Chains A and B, each alone.
Chain A
Amino acid sequence: MSTAILPPRPPATSGPVGRMTNGGGDGALGSSVAQTGVWIGIGTIAMSFAALTSALVVRQSGAPDWHHLQLPALLYVNTLVLLGSSVTLEWARRRQAPLALHLTIALGVMFVVGQILAWRQLIAQQQSLASGPSSAFFYVFTALHAMHVLGGVAGLTYVERRMTAGGVPPGTYKAAALYWHFMAVLWLYLLLLLTIRA
């Protein structure tokens, strides 16, 4: 039963001081914040798609109405477009090439347009949202992914505007690129999943 009035612990021993001691609002701090935000966002998006994947697995098991869905060949072209945009973005970022950034954004928009065309092809084959579980999951996955890609296009457009307005901090640029590459990785995963499962 120890008593009383202890002296306060000296500052140095009351726990290691973290490396994040760069308080005071300097530039280096801001860059890490944007990247932290994107990493957290990536985690969240991955979780959402993981939930949908498990829904697909549960829904498929023991479903009498699961028909294999023939994916439109256009999807593979779209895949190349999206992967290409990742390459051009890295080019833009490393070589300070604004033209390549414009190209990235254009490729991103092209990807979404391509996805819409692929949906139209499917609808023309009577494969709508309500016609079966495999097509339903296809539309849900691709639509949610396309929405996230559009979010990335908005982010890159913001970077582009900041660049013309007088320079973009490298941290922000890096954060936007991180998100964009994640969109490509996520798409490859979805394509694989849909090819195997749907």
Chain B
Amino acid sequence: MGRLFAVVVTVIALVSAAIFALHVWWLPPDISAHGSRIDRQLNETMVTAGILFVAAQLALGLFVWRFDVRDGMPPRAVKTFPGGVTPLVVLAILFVGIEILVLTFVGSKVWASVYQTPAPAEALQIEVEAEQFAFYFRYAGPDGKFGTMHPDLMNDATQNFFGLDPANDTTARDDIVVGTLVIPVNQPIDLRLHAKDVNHSFYVPELRIQQDFVPGMVIPLHFTATQTGKYELVCTQLCGLGHYNMRAYIEVKTPADFAQWLKAQAATS
């Protein structure tokens, strides 16, 4: 029975680890300027955590194999762990402690570089409004100014998702509101996240970016996409019955295509 336990634990540990190591299921290719640092941090954690995982499981399996009492075995005395408890405590504090120090030191720099630095001045500002169960995006238009949002004017039926008041607010008249996030490649993007009703979240796996929308707060989020293409933006914060279906597309265009698209939008709005 002890041998069976050892075999099962070993198989589980090795198969689980192999699937991680072979990247059978893995992150989609990174298309952001900052993402490689996150990926490196994830990989380093994966290697160190993977070693700890396999080592612990194998040690458990090995000891159970070795020290199981089978029928017909001569009686033998018990042994304490070599050196007693001290080497284990030292081992845990050293290995796990160093691991933690490294992860914290490196990881917090990665985090700070994404979330604790302001967006560059040349970043393109886009407002995002999340509601049950859709995302809407607003560009300032030719005047470069966003119109003021009025919650009492928000209305899905009239498609006034941002509660704009173009009749009285001149800056709002040329605002461009669309349902797809279109951005230029290699230019920093500076988003302002607004929630109309409940919590939502902004998650684009390829961009390695995730941030909650919180009602009553305007939350900044910035990133730079480095590859053109069409990607999916999904909601990761439980927001109600349509949560599973709440998404939008992100189109990353070349600067020329983007300028053309923006012009066309300005003309129609």
Is A–B contact present in the complex under a CB 8 A cutoff? yes
Q: Show the binding face of A for B, using Cβ within 8 Å.
A: 1-5
10 smallest CB-CB distances across A and B, nearest first, come from: A4-B77, A3-B77, A1-B82, A2-B80, A5-B77, A1-B79, A3-B79, A4-B78, A2-B79, A4-B79
Closest to A5 in B: B77
**Consensus secondary structure, chain B interface:** loop
B219 to chain A, nearest CB (A): 14
A133 to chain B, nearest CB (A): 14
Q: Show the binding face of B for A, using Cβ within 8 Å.
A: 77-80, 82
**Consensus secondary structure, chain A interface:** loop
Contacts of B80 in A (CB 8 A): 1-2
B31 to chain A, nearest CB (A): 36
> Cα distance A94–B79 when bound, in Å?
61
Contacts of A1 in B (CB 8 A): 79-80, 82
A180 to chain B, nearest CB (A): 42
Known contacts A2-B79, A4-B78, A5-B77, then 8 further A-B pairs from the complex at CB < 8 Å, ordered by chain A residue: A1-B79, A1-B80, A1-B82, A2-B80, A3-B77, A3-B79, A4-B77, A4-B79
Contacts of B77 in A (CB 8 A): 3-5
- Identify which of A1, A2, A3, A5 gathers the most chain B CB atoms within 10 Å of its CB: A2
> Cα distance A2–B77 when bound, in Å?
10
Contacts of A2 in B (CB 8 A): 79-80
> Cα distance A5–B78 when bound, in Å?
7
Closest to B78 in A: A4
Contacts of B78 in A (CB 8 A): 4
11 intermolecular pairs with C-beta atoms under 8 Å apart: A1-B79, A1-B80, A1-B82, A2-B79, A2-B80, A3-B77, A3-B79, A4-B77, A4-B78, A4-B79, A5-B77
> Cα distance A3–B79 when bound, in Å?
5
B80 to chain A, nearest CB (A): 5
> Cα distance A42–B194 when bound, in Å?
43
> Cα distance A10–B78 when bound, in Å?
20
A114 to chain B, nearest CB (A): 37
> Cα distance A13–B83 when bound, in Å?
22
Contacts of A5 in B (CB 8 A): 77
